[in-house]
Amino acid sequence: MTYHKESPSQTAGPYVHIGCTPNFAGISMYDGDLGASLKRGPVNGQEITVTGTVFDGAGTPLRDALIEIWQADADGIFPARNETRGQADPNFTGWGRTAGDAETGQFTFDTVKPGQVPWRDGSLQAPHITFWIVARGVNIGLQTRMYFEDEPDANAGDPILKRIEHRSRIDTLLARKTGKGAYHFDIVLQGEGETIFFDI
């Protein structure tokens, strides 16, 4: 058996948008960029909009960040082949990708509020959305989770949140409700208010 060394990590570079979101980059190759819409038609559950901005350690918005999300549908079912708990909403993809606005860095996802998903021991995770962030200067994609501030009971029992030693930092994972069906979630890469990232 031949073993190969792992290749070194490299920054995403200035061309990540051309490969991942060509229409956003001004190259019209397809009808739309992959992941631009999480909905194929009418979806079950509460439709929500999530906005936010990725900030660097100096508090400056990153205008070249690329953000992906993964989540369960409104019933807590993933649209995945290995899902064994039931059939996911056929009009919901569970995966989205977008770039931050070129001027402000703000990202937007139109999605649904996810249901609770069981943890390995059978306990329920609070409703959450998984985020993956890349940008110039970020050598390895960063992973985090967004929970909902208006789900206090579910958050209190979440097996991931319960493992966070520095309780004051849990706030960095909470999306703020800003209106009916509207949530805001900023991601801070380092420094004061740094978002919790997960080693996955």
pTM: 0.89
**CB half-sphere exposure, 79, CA atoms < 13 A:** 18
Q: Which residue has the higher pLDDT, 65 or 138?
A: 65
Q: Find all residues with CB under 8 Å of 199, minimum gap 6, and list them.
A: 143
Q: For 71-181, where are the E strands, in sequence order?
A: 95-99, 106-112, 128-134, 142-148, 174-179
Distance CA 150, CA 166 (A): 21
pLDDT tens string 155-176: 999 999 999 999 999 999 999 9
pLDDT tens string 17-27: 666 666 666 67
Q: Which residue segments constitute the domains of the chain, with CATH numbers given?
A: 34-188 (2.60.130.10)
Asked whether 46 and 74 are in contact (CB, 8 A), the reply is: yes
